[in-house]
Structure 1
């Protein structure tokens, strides 16, 4: 099949996640053919630095021979094994034990699924199962945040608080899922400093507990750092204070670490190391295998396991997937973790991540850039129409896509999310590659500014200069 036929067949047959029908039919896709490390090549042989890391996931970089050999050997040895009831396989057992070793506190139990969304859906079901086993059948309500993203399966998308993803053509759980304010200080009321904003958010949670009733709230779902909702690092003691409220009111704290786990911000898990909280449940995926195989995991505490596994001798957990604990995926995850440990990639993220944050801050001098935020290898540029008022461009303009298209022309892939450009590069990124990303993104923003002026979307040009 030649390049044009691939492009045509893609439009004719493959409905992609988040397909925008009109633009897809007109423009089609950027089709990738191969990759090595942080570099990807399209099927016209053009090279790009992938500053998105696939989709927050290619942590160790692509094209690693030892990963290919590990996967191939496991296929030869045992390509599949039934995971149900009393059947098991060695890679899944070894991985479960390794995750228990890496996870904080008493999180020693693991339930495998196929990705982040199914890990969150499993957590949702586990929360209700746990509360019912305790005889607390009224504890069904879930609290989450606006701007939070938790996946695209039914329960996960219901818990998600991103307005742009909650389209009217789909249905969602409405009666038992509640959303609090997004902890984005850049969008806080003008009269509040960061501590006052944090106090407001904590008070809001307390008011929601009082309104719904602690006896009816089962769990709080939260990303330690919000990902596709805008790479939002909450105020300094926000996560800790929310967690303390959960503990005081018998509400489970579910840390959605699908993005933040396995090195994205310099730690195996962000909850304990960065925010001093001990979740009851952690969901993870993405960096668990660095995208080499589809795998998700729901990690939970011994306390939860004790509650669900005792009491009724006939009780069983009637939930699971054909590919739970898939031996090939688990073997890939074990090798991935070994590489992260051996190459000291967590420390690399801490060191190079500080430089990445510092260099990206220089883009604040550009007229479209309202905010630069994030942590280490999880960063975002927010583009605005007016820096003083923080007014954004109309959503229909899709300013983030304008910028990402111009970045791609220069060989850089960044992720557009309406007025944002998000970056989550492989953990192998070095200082020279940081400079490349910042230089090319800056030029893309400059070019977009000129194009907006020329198209009449902005008034007369302002002098543009990189800091």
Structure 2
């Protein structure tokens, strides 16, 4: 597409290497350049208005115009614009936020460590667990088990935990000591006639077989999202987390709940761990923690995890890890106000109610020739697209059908994300019934248009 030389699109092409983008294709097509937001809507520089049905990147809980968050940032910026947490230093907002997060934890937690993104948080967790194993005199206990299609970030360590091929290809990943067990997606991975419970049993047995093959004394932790996000909004089958946790408990393996997408109301409870009765030792949080108005992430650890880490820092004389902006006072102040608003407006309940409405609209489309599966919980959902329902297949090129539908939806003013041929929906927690219906109406119209083209 040709742009005038001084246009934002042309300058974006000239100077900006984008995340999760085909760089050569970007040179040809350019980007949608957003200029402002209002509630669940965003608007580009040409005045085109879109429902942001992905809440940005699964993250803008309060929508795109919450003045209280802007005011919280301004107040703190004027009072103390920066402070670090190195060398026995702290600040009021980060202390308040740590206390608040511990109070919200669904299981007893001891300490909070602050980072700037979910990737940094999970990277730090892996690093600190190696540190912990050494402190405990277990230098062989360095392996961590993740899952195929899981998503845990893009740093060298967290991208290794991620179980998606394009996050490994040409990056020389995964690194050593990172293992991947099977995805919990019943619709895609179950054997013919296998019930959800039988499938969950098989996945737990496969996990145990992997642990025994590797040596239980070498496995330190298992990491999983309560509901997989970027892997396709994969909702765990009945009894899955119960059976997985039983295996981990048997071999004294820590459980890390990656709540980066699921946390702060997305699954219809404050945390996804509550939705699935998970009892994690570590919980990773980001995204909706501040509605992504400012970068901030964190993880909580229980006393079992904290104790050996504290002991080792005392033996050495320092915990030699941290980030300049970790626990930033402005980001912490915004996160505190964000959590306050989520509770005041009972947005967790709104997520349950609006999510049920959205999934109900999608379930009504299950007879459509392009709809293979509807899945979701709370206010996160996906529709798996197919051209052959019996074979559960789409167009010849994986992702071609999903890309076509996502592009057509954007042209109709709805921003979604396709993970191959699954269309994900994760709107802000503030969404109203009429906005849910607007998404569903436009999605149905697009399905009809695309079906006429491809079938």
TM over 0.5: yes
Secondary structure of 2:372's aligned partner: strand
- Offset, 1:397: 5.8
Contact 1:309/1:315, CA 8 A, preserved across alignment: no
Find the partner of 2:158 among 156, 160, 174.
Answer: 156
- Say if 2:392 is the partner of 1:390: yes
Query: Does 1:83 pair with 2:85?
Result: yes
Residues in 2 aligned to 1:57 and 1:366: alpha-carbon distance in whole angstroms: 30
CA distance in 2, matches of 1:10, 1:159: 31
Compute the TM-score of the two structures, normalised by the length of structure 2.
0.96
Q: Which whole-Å deviations, capped at 9, do the CAs of 1:267-320 have from their partners, x for residues lacking one?
A: 22111x211121000001000000110001011102221222237543432111
Please list every run of 5 or more consecutive structure 1 residues that lacks an aligned counterpart in the other structure. Answer: 453-457, 459-467
Residues 96, 110 of structure 1: 8 Å contact kept: yes
Q: Among 201, 204, 208, which residue is 1:202 paired with?
A: 204
- Deviations along 1:193-235, one digit per CA (max 9) or x if unpaired, are 2121111101001100110011000110100111110101111
Cα distance, 1:2 vs. partner? Answer: 8.3
Paired residues for 1:203-222 under 5 Å:
203-222=205-224
Instruction: Give the CA deviation at 1:23.
Output: 2.1
Deviation at 1:128, TM superposition (A): 1.2
Q: Distance in 1 between matches of 2:146 and 2:365?
A: 32
Contact 1:382 1:419 in 2 (8 A): yes
What secondary structure does 2:373 align onto?
strand
Give the conservation status (yes or no) of the 8 Å contact 1:122–1:298.
Answer: no
Query: Residue 409 of structure 1: CA displacement?
Result: 1.9
SS in 1 for 2:450: helix
Match of 2:290? 289
CA distance in 2, matches of 1:216, 1:132: 12
Secondary structure of 2:31's match? Answer: coil
Measured after TM superposition, the shift of residue 79 of structure 1 is: 0.5
Deviation for aligned residue 1:122: 1.1
**How many residue pairs were aligned?**
451
Aligned 8 A contact 1:357 1:376 in 2: no
Change (3 A) 1:396 1:237: closer
Is 1:193 aligned to 2:195, yes or no?
Answer: yes
Within-5 A mapping of 1:292-303? 292-303=293-304
- How far apart, in 1, do the equivalents of 2:52 and 2:383 lie? 16
Q: In structure 2, how many angstroms separate the alpha carbons of the residues matched to 1:257 and 1:2?
A: 43
Aligned partners of 1:85 and 1:382: how far apart in 2? 50
Q: For 1:47-126, list aligned pairs within 5 A.
A: 47-126=49-128
Q: How far apart are the structure 1 equivalents of 2:36 and 2:6?
A: 17
1:455 corresponds to: none
1:108, distance to aligned residue in structure 2 (A): 2.7
Structure 1 residue aligned with 2:449, among 447, 450, 458?
447
- RMSD of aligned Cα (Å): 1.6
- Give 1:189-268 correspondences, 5 Å limit: 189-268=191-270
Residue in 1 that maps onto 2:363 = 361
**In structure 2, C-alpha distance between the alignment counterparts of 1:92 and 1:3, rounded to whole Å:** 45
Equivalent pair of 2:37/2:64 in contact (CA under 8 Å): yes
CA–CA separation in structure 2 for the residues paired with 1:116 and 1:375: 21
Q: Check the 8 A contact 2:5/2:11 in 1, yes or no.
A: no
Q: Which residue of 1 aligns with 2:326?
A: 324
Q: Which runs of 5+ in 2 are unaligned?
A: none
SS in structure 2 of the partner of residue 360 of structure 1: helix
Q: Does the 8 A contact of 2:286 with 2:298 survive in 1?
A: yes
Kindly tell me: are residues 381 and 397 of structure 1, through their superposed partners in 2, closer, same or farther at Cα, counting changes over 3 Å? closer
Tell me how far apart the structure 2 counterparts of residues 396 and 199 of structure 1 sit (CA, whole Å). Answer: 29
1:395 counterpart SS class: coil
Query: Could you tell me how far apart the structure 1 residues matched to 2:25 and 2:453 are?
Result: 20
> Are 2:147 and 2:183, in contact at CA under 8 Å, matched by a contact in 1?
yes
Q: Report which stretch shifted further, 198-207 or 440-449.
A: 440-449
Q: Following TM superposition, by how much is the alpha carbon of 1:136 offset from its aligned partner in structure 2, in angstroms? A: 0.9
Distance 1:393 1:77 in 2: 56
